[in-house]
Chain A
Amino acid sequence: MSDNATIHVHLNGKEREVASAHTVHSLIESLELHPSLVVVELNREILPREAYGDVPVREGDTIELVHFVGGG
């Protein structure tokens, strides 16, 4: 990774610095999550799972990664 190879995103409510080369899929994997168990909202739009590998993560993106937890 070169020096300028990072971008800033709003990820799950926090500012994060991530590699600029990431697709949504590779970002999820870099966080050690299973893409099949995560739903992605990119800039308030739900991203279909089949698009994870094609969509690049861009500077300033707002990304929400959600999943199912215990609840009533």
Chain B
Amino acid sequence: MKFGVIVFPGSNCDLDSYFLVRDILRQPVEYIYYYEESIKQCDAIILPGGFTYGDYLRSGAIARFSPVMSAVADFADRGGAVLGICNGFQVLTEAGLLPGALYRNDHLQFRCEQVYVRVENNSLPFTRSASLGKVLEIPVAHGDGNYYAPPELLREMKANNQVVFRYTDRDGNVTEGANPNGSVENIAGVCNREGNVVGMMPHPERAGEKILGSKHGLIIFKSIISYFLNREVV
């Protein structure tokens, strides 16, 4: 299988994602630039973290109109696996490819720290190798990570199992203290209705080696690799 990493002006975790896939997971990977109009020969696409277009207006609001985003939408429509990390998550919500919105952290501070998230849905291409309820230690680094969905939408999302990760304490308890940004119901990651598009505020690509403090992020990427491996065999 092959990964693609989208590069927008102002992306800054594109290199981390590329490095993790190529050097840690030893999988084929290529950059796809914001001005490209098609996505060829990629099985999974990563929208990396960063500050696309300076986060002007709202985080992700301008990036979502980049030419490449039409190609990302087509790719997602065809069932392609799309992972948005941090700013990539914001771009996907702005684009309407994921439900809800991300806005200013409730305490107004930029948070850069290790957090714990619990896997709430392990039936997705990006989570299938994790056990349900598994607690992952992964860093966050954001100022606009406060996830919001209006009550009706939230009900619909929960009924459809679209909450993928929640912030918890080390033991997997959803507590107010474990919530780094004020997100509704401690939501750290969500997916679309079909489950092939996932967005998460924590950075799994920064948790891929022991030297970085945690290797828990690898499970996200290993899930997607195993998903395609199994599909190819079938």
Q: Do A and B come from the same complex?
A: no
Interface residues of A (CB under 8 A from B): none
